[in-house]
A and B are shown apart, each in its own frame.
Chain A
Amino acid sequence: MTRLRWLCLLLPLSLPAQAPPFVQRVRSVVEAYAHPAGSGPLGYANIAAKLWLHEDPALCSRRLEELLDAPTGDMFWMYPISAIAYLDRGQLTDSARRAFRDSFRTYMPYRGDTENHWVMYYTSLYLMAQLWPDQDGDQWYTGKSSAENMREAAGWLESWVRLTTTRGQGEYDSPNYMGLYFLSMSYLSAWARDPAMQKRATMMLDYLTADYAAEELDGVYAGAHSRVYDREVLEKWNVASSDFGWVLFGLGHPLSPPANPILFYVVASAYQPPEILQRISTDRSQPYTHYERKRTRNRWRFFDELHGPVYKTTYVRREYAVSSDQGGTLQPIQEHSWDVTWSVPDPRGVENTLFTLNPHSSLHELETYFTFPPDIGISGVVSSKKSYDSPDKFVGGSPYEKIFQDQDTIVALYDIAPGARFPHINGFFSKDLAEVSEDPSGWIFARGGDALIACRPLQPYTWKPIEGGGRRLFSPYLKNGIVVQVAARSEFADMPAFRGAILALPLEFQLEPTPSVRFHSLRGRILEFTYGETPSADGAPLDYAHWPLFGGPFLEAPVDSEILILKYGSMRRTLDFRRLTVTDAR
């Protein structure tokens, strides 16, 4: 019976083509946690789901007391327990309620060192201080009164929204971590009693959703990303963002079972994006280029400014997306600087992406962003991010990589310092590429789904097998680069026709003393790029100084404006964070 019930629950999750309505998608996520397949003891997420369904309150109470006997998890404990406190609604026993109240006196969660940590920490602290007002510092692990905790949390949350809507997120476009921002704003949208905080959070849900909606392809988040893990950078579907694509828009396939951020998103506000965001997320009828400016993580050392700019370019069309930042170490450890992502009918198990990088590992990079004592910096990172110090890795930014993107053309140049730990570049060539051929001209041609891809490595290379399939392009030269041109299969009769078109494009490059490329792109643009210099298209230098916070056919926001305009056809939604107003127009 249990197995049958579980299969019934999973059925809607596995049939995206017939994605059920939003409320059913929400319900299926909750059901997956309320009635888990395994027979293990309930966790916080299971308890939250059951309380949302008003189910098994006695069991939830007992289990909650067991779990709270020894809280652990820092802010990853705070956000589930905060949700449970608000989902209680009279269901929990007094004893269980005392246990979770007492835990905020006896357990001190670490506030962490990362943007998502702080959003979760302060969202939870805000809501718990709201729930238990007028208590003195003896009742809180902080030693501060409810009012002091709430004031501090509200201040930080307001400053985070201001920074995000003026200079962009630091932990931007992370397919793994985006859910933690969504769930935090969902909590405040549902449970904050201060109308301004509630409104601000609801507007941020539109903001965060728009940020994702303009850069996904069938729910799969196209690069570049601030943070990704080894698996999801290759199998791009296999990450929490897919849960959000499915629940918010009915796109693609959720994880099975869904990751817990979507559960906590739906048990709070279950905010359904407005129609204009549904349109933006699904309309890929016309190719478009979308621009974003983000910021780096806090750079504690080696820079005069705490945050540097991140300039993102994303080209999206039905068949594929190409996305990049400007290169460099903009984030520690887990940056993903550019890729081609192609659309596939079912991305589960498919590695539908192509990219190159210089694998970079250095104490200097870590010390820029972290406070580790120098002798345990790299070993400390490797303990949780296993590939960080691997020459074979496919994740991470490099100070020796500079990237220029114009529509669906990428020029990535490398000028690796002598003595760098890994003096080579890695290129990911998926097991799921078809029609791969190495042309005598030096171009590599391949097809990913309905995307035709041409790559021109600028130095000799060899192939190395990848465990699980695919090949790693390995090119051990300090001065290096690659030119990538993508096109839709529909634009050419066949691969030979595409090949002919590519070979007809003038390409000049030199590697000494500094890598430099001049390429006449398939889109008729003359692209010129020298490592370390501002690239140009048709003689016009890229205008980094006026790069928008969001720019493109769907989103518009100048830097420092605190205003985001969503656009679709004649539809407009304006989010004004200065006035906390939302204006819709057609």
Chain B
Amino acid sequence: MGRWLLVLAILPFALSAQYTLYTCGASSKDYVVGAKLPASGIFLKPAGGEWRHAGFNHPFITAFDFDPRDPSVVYAAAGNGLLRIFAGGERWKILTGSDSTELLDVALDRNAPGTIYFGHTHGIQVSHDSGATWHDAASGLRRKYTAALRVDSRRAGFLVAGTEQGILRSEDGGTSWRLAGAAGIQVLHIEQSPHDPCYWLASTEGGGLFDSTDCGVSFESNGNLGVGRNLYDIAFDPASPNRIAVAGWGVGVAFTEDRGKTWQPRNAGLPATNIWSVVFDPAQPGRVYTSVHEDAIYVSADNGRTWSKDGLAGSSIFRMKFVPEAPRQ
């Protein structure tokens, strides 16, 4: 029943076949605060369009999510706070105040309209009114730093957070937390499978990949992929339940075709294997984008077997996400 609900939930977007690729990052090397900043922040590639810089210059945007009720509204985790971005990326509003700095991840609760969570240097905050007011959702965490955060796509208030203490889970909107795995390892990213909501992956700093097959209750090591290195991104192929890509530093882009049992590096055509992000194009099965540190965004039409340069030369793009341009009615 739950799986059917999920399929029904994503169906309008999948059928629309019109997505904008949102990315965030910097196009300058060695920026320090106060220095001249070339175009940085949000870069967009609309369906069938070209890359463009959108809105303000900002050196520190790490992640975004979109409002499922209105995908033209995107929320970005930024140095200056949580940003609401709209009007094609051109208009921004900082939704948070001086109590939140250097935001690291953001996730909207698909089952609780208006509910936004973000992870930052000093914990997790939640808003239940689309960002008008904020409340602490990390009082139960001994160590606050939260680099990754996801809300279960099936149930409101079910959270999985990546902290310096490992993967933690809350079933009450952040009121209480318990360890779910990767104890003592800094978690860098978390994703939930769109095909099987009980399957989760978490990437870590030095500890490799961790997976959960029990709906995020517990996470176990997935094997040796990325152990001793840092894995920054995870992407599930919306077109194929068993295909997943992982990006990492010195790892490049690794693909699995059997849902994590085996992994193969696919870096042909990439100039280096220092990779920040990877994402599947939901509108074009087989097309994948990845970002190489201080180089460019690359695209593959064959699920990563070959890559070619796509754009944003000189950039370091930390995160990419396809956002539906308009839900089909």
Q: Which residues of A contact B (CB under 8 A)?
A: 72-77, 107-108, 110-114, 117-118, 122, 137, 141-144, 152-153, 155-156, 159, 298, 300-302, 304, 306, 367, 371, 373-376, 380, 383-384
Interface contact A371-B102, CB-CB below 8 Å: yes
Give min CB distance, B29 to chain A, whole Å: 8
Interface contact A108-B145, CB-CB below 8 Å: no
Interface contact B104-A371, CB-CB below 8 Å: yes
Measured in the bound complex, the distance between the Cα atoms of B145 and A300 in whole Å is: 6
Give min CB distance, A334 to chain B, whole Å: 13
Measured in the bound complex, the distance between the Cα atoms of B101 and A394 in whole Å is: 31
Give min CB distance, B199 to chain A, whole Å: 26
The 3 A-B pairs with the shortest beta carbon distances in the complex, nearest first, are A143-B93, A383-B30, A108-B56
For this complex, 13 residue pairs linking A to B, each with C-beta atoms less than 8 Å apart, are A75-B34, A111-B81, A112-B34, A113-B33, A114-B33, A143-B92, A143-B93, A144-B93, A152-B98, A159-B98, A301-B164, A304-B143, A374-B186
Query: Binary interface profile of B, 62-97, with partner A (CB < 8 Å = 1, else 0)?
Result: 000000000000000001110010000001111001
Give min CB distance, B318 to chain A, whole Å: 8
Query: Could you say which of B36, B91, B102 contacts A113, with CB atoms under 8 Å apart?
Result: B102
B51 on the A face (CB < 8 A): no
Interface contact A300-B122, CB-CB below 8 Å: yes
Interface contact A298-B94, CB-CB below 8 Å: no
Interface contact B36-A72, CB-CB below 8 Å: yes
Give min CB distance, A25 to chain B, whole Å: 28
Measured in the bound complex, the distance between the Cα atoms of B276 and A555 in whole Å is: 52
Interface contact A110-B60, CB-CB below 8 Å: yes
Interface contact B143-A301, CB-CB below 8 Å: yes
Give min CB distance, A459 to chain B, whole Å: 34
**If A144-B94, A298-B121 touch, does A111 touch B101 (CB 8 Å cutoff)?**
yes
Interface contact A304-B142, CB-CB below 8 Å: yes
Residue of A whose beta carbon sits closest to that of B205: A374
Give min CB distance, A113 to chain B, whole Å: 6
Q: Which residues of B contact A (CB under 8 A)?
A: 29-30, 32-37, 56-60, 79-81, 84, 91-94, 97-98, 101-102, 104, 121-122, 142-145, 164, 186, 188, 205-206, 230, 232, 249, 274, 276, 293, 318
Most buried by A among B98, B142, B230: B98
Query: Could you say which of A118, A155, A300 contacts B121, with CB atoms under 8 Å apart?
Result: A300
Interface contact B56-A371, CB-CB below 8 Å: no
List residues of chain B with CB within 8 A of the CB of A376: 293
Give min CB distance, A295 to chain B, whole Å: 15
Give min CB distance, A224 to chain B, whole Å: 24
Measured in the bound complex, the distance between the Cα atoms of B100 and A283 in whole Å is: 44
Interface contact B33-A155, CB-CB below 8 Å: no
Interface contact A375-B98, CB-CB below 8 Å: no
List residues of chain B with CB within 8 A of the CB of A375: 230, 249, 274, 293
Give min CB distance, B182 to chain A, whole Å: 15
List residues of chain A with CB within 8 A of the CB of B142: 304
Measured in the bound complex, the distance between the Cα atoms of B40 and A110 in whole Å is: 12
Measured in the bound complex, the distance between the Cα atoms of B94 and A580 in whole Å is: 32
List residues of chain A with CB within 8 A of the CB of B122: 298, 300, 306
Query: Could you say which of B30, B37, B57, B80 contacts A384, with CB atoms under 8 Å apart?
Result: B30
20 more CB-based (< 8 A) A-B contacts, given A108-B57, A110-B58, A144-B93: A72-B37, A73-B34, A73-B36, A74-B37, A76-B34, A77-B34, A108-B80, A111-B80, A137-B93, A153-B98, A155-B97, A156-B98, A300-B122, A301-B145, A301-B186, A367-B186, A373-B230, A374-B205, A383-B29, A384-B32
Interface contact A107-B56, CB-CB below 8 Å: yes
Give min CB distance, A314 to chain B, whole Å: 30
Measured in the bound complex, the distance between the Cα atoms of B37 and A460 in whole Å is: 48
Interface contact A113-B58, CB-CB below 8 Å: no
Measured in the bound complex, the distance between the Cα atoms of B56 and A402 in whole Å is: 46
List residues of chain B with CB within 8 A of the CB of A380: 30
Interface contact A373-B232, CB-CB below 8 Å: yes
Residue of B whose beta carbon sits closest to that of A138: B91
List residues of chain A with CB within 8 A of the CB of B274: 375
List residues of chain B with CB within 8 A of the CB of A374: 186, 205-206, 230
Residue of B whose beta carbon sits closest to that of A376: B293
List residues of chain B with CB within 8 A of the CB of A153: 98
Most buried by B among A111, A113, A367, A383: A111
Interface contact A112-B164, CB-CB below 8 Å: no
Measured in the bound complex, the distance between the Cα atoms of B143 and A75 in whole Å is: 30
List residues of chain B with CB within 8 A of the CB of A306: 122
Measured in the bound complex, the distance between the Cα atoms of B274 and A374 in whole Å is: 12
Interface contact A110-B98, CB-CB below 8 Å: no
List residues of chain B with CB within 8 A of the CB of A155: 97-98
Measured in the bound complex, the distance between the Cα atoms of B94 and A142 in whole Å is: 5
Residue of A whose beta carbon sits closest to that of B123: A300
**If A110-B58, A375-B230 touch, does A152 touch B97 (CB 8 Å cutoff)?**
yes
Interface contact B33-A110, CB-CB below 8 Å: yes
Interface contact B32-A383, CB-CB below 8 Å: yes
Most buried by B among A110, A122, A144: A110
Query: Could you say which of B79, B93, B121, B206 contacts A110, with CB atoms under 8 Å apart?
Result: B79
Most buried by A among B94, B205, B206: B94
List residues of chain B with CB within 8 A of the CB of A156: 98
Measured in the bound complex, the distance between the Cα atoms of B91 and A143 in whole Å is: 8
Residue of A whose beta carbon sits closest to that of B93: A143
Residue of A whose beta carbon sits closest to that of B121: A300
Query: Could you say which of A113, A142, A152 contacts B79, with CB atoms under 8 Å apart?
Result: A113
Residue of A whose beta carbon sits closest to that of B32: A384
Measured in the bound complex, the distance between the Cα atoms of B145 and A76 in whole Å is: 28
Interface contact B145-A143, CB-CB below 8 Å: no
Measured in the bound complex, the distance between the Cα atoms of B58 and A143 in whole Å is: 15
**If A72-B37, A111-B79, A375-B274 touch, does A143 touch B94 (CB 8 Å cutoff)?**
yes
Interface contact B34-A74, CB-CB below 8 Å: yes
Residue of A whose beta carbon sits closest to that of B41: A108
Measured in the bound complex, the distance between the Cα atoms of B80 and A118 in whole Å is: 11
Residue of A whose beta carbon sits closest to that of B94: A142
**If A117-B33, A143-B92, A298-B121 touch, does A110 touch B232 (CB 8 Å cutoff)?**
no
List residues of chain B with CB within 8 A of the CB of A371: 102, 104, 121
Residue of B whose beta carbon sits closest to that of A160: B98
Residue of A whose beta carbon sits closest to that of B85: A143
Give min CB distance, A384 to chain B, whole Å: 4
Give min CB distance, A431 to chain B, whole Å: 31
Measured in the bound complex, the distance between the Cα atoms of B144 and A371 in whole Å is: 13
Give min CB distance, A585 to chain B, whole Å: 37
List residues of chain A with CB within 8 A of the CB of B121: 298, 300, 371
Residue of B whose beta carbon sits closest to that of A155: B98
Give min CB distance, A112 to chain B, whole Å: 5
Give min CB distance, A98 to chain B, whole Å: 20
List residues of chain B with CB within 8 A of the CB of A144: 93-94
Give min CB distance, A511 to chain B, whole Å: 32
Residue of A whose beta carbon sits closest to that of B95: A143
Measured in the bound complex, the distance between the Cα atoms of B186 and A373 in whole Å is: 11
Interface contact B80-A110, CB-CB below 8 Å: yes
List residues of chain B with CB within 8 A of the CB of A74: 33-34, 37
Interface contact A141-B56, CB-CB below 8 Å: yes
List residues of chain B with CB within 8 A of the CB of A302: 143, 164
Measured in the bound complex, the distance between the Cα atoms of B102 and A298 in whole Å is: 12
List residues of chain A with CB within 8 A of the CB of B94: 142-144
List residues of chain A with CB within 8 A of the CB of B104: 371
Give min CB distance, A72 to chain B, whole Å: 5
Give min CB distance, B32 to chain A, whole Å: 4
